[in-house]
Amino acid sequence: MNSWLFLSLLLAHVTGDFYLQNDKYCAQKEERKFKSWFLYVHSLIIGGVSWAVVPVCDFGFYALAIAISHFIIDAIKTYSPKGLWNFIIDQIAHLSILIIVALSFDTASELPIQSMDCNDSFSIPMFILAVLLCIKPANILIKLVLKKYQVGETQSCENIKNAGALIGDLERILTIIFVIIGQYEAIGFIIAAKSILRFKDTDTTKTEYVLAGTFLSFGIALLCGLMTTK
């Protein structure tokens, strides 16, 4: 399998599936299903972005195949119960298609992403992917995990969710940077500082919510940070 091709398609998928659609349009897809115009537009966007990162004429057929498969998977998803497993299975299905394409398409041309890989200590394309994964996809995953296990269902937790998402984005990006430069002590300092801030909080439910979110957040960030190092 061409690893550069797969990484290019993965970047296109993450960008298109998480950053080129918003909650309003996602809700429209869930509500209107096949009647949703955005279901069709979103699939074409995914195909277009995929072709953009692999600018080879022969890849047009595969970009169309990615768009059609994305449409089918998303359409099926609208008929499935919403929740953590729905999200995980949906993403696994999309990744499976990308793997099949990366295995099937053979190109001798240098992909744009390869010219970005000019650092000896860490992969710049992987760093970009790690940052993209650690913002919106990570927030969605953490939210679904906490919801599945009914952590943070009280009103006091609802009041801090927006701020928590922003703080989570920042701490995950910092964690990735600290992993790249090998400053694991700084990661421990952030965790300790966050714990101290919550130490005097008498709201047990809120404390459990913050701790669970923190462990998930740093776990995801550490994995993404390690992914970028060579």
pTM as predicted: 0.83
Residue 11 pLDDT level (bands cut at 50, 70, 90) = very high
pLDDT of 42 > 60? The answer is: yes
pLDDT, residue 158, reads: 56
The H-or-E segment that residue 36 falls in is: none
Note whether 228 and 130 are within 8 A (CB).
yes
Average pLDDT over residues 113-137: 84
pLDDT, residue 197, reads: 57
Single-letter amino acid, residue 4:
W
Rounded to 5, what percent of the chain is helix, strand, coil? 80, 0, 20
Note whether 41 and 25 are within 8 A (CB).
no
pLDDT, residue 163, reads: 56
- Which candidate, 167, 178, 158, 160, places its Cα nearest to that of 139? 167
pLDDT of 43 > 90? The answer is: yes
Residue 48 to residue 184: CA distance in whole angstroms: 39
pLDDT of 50 > 90? The answer is: yes
Residue 213 to residue 151: CA distance in whole angstroms: 9
Q: Please write the tens of the pLDDT for every residue from 148-191.
A: 766 655 555 555 555 566 677 777 888 888 888 787 777 777 77
Note whether 73 and 43 are within 8 A (CB).
no
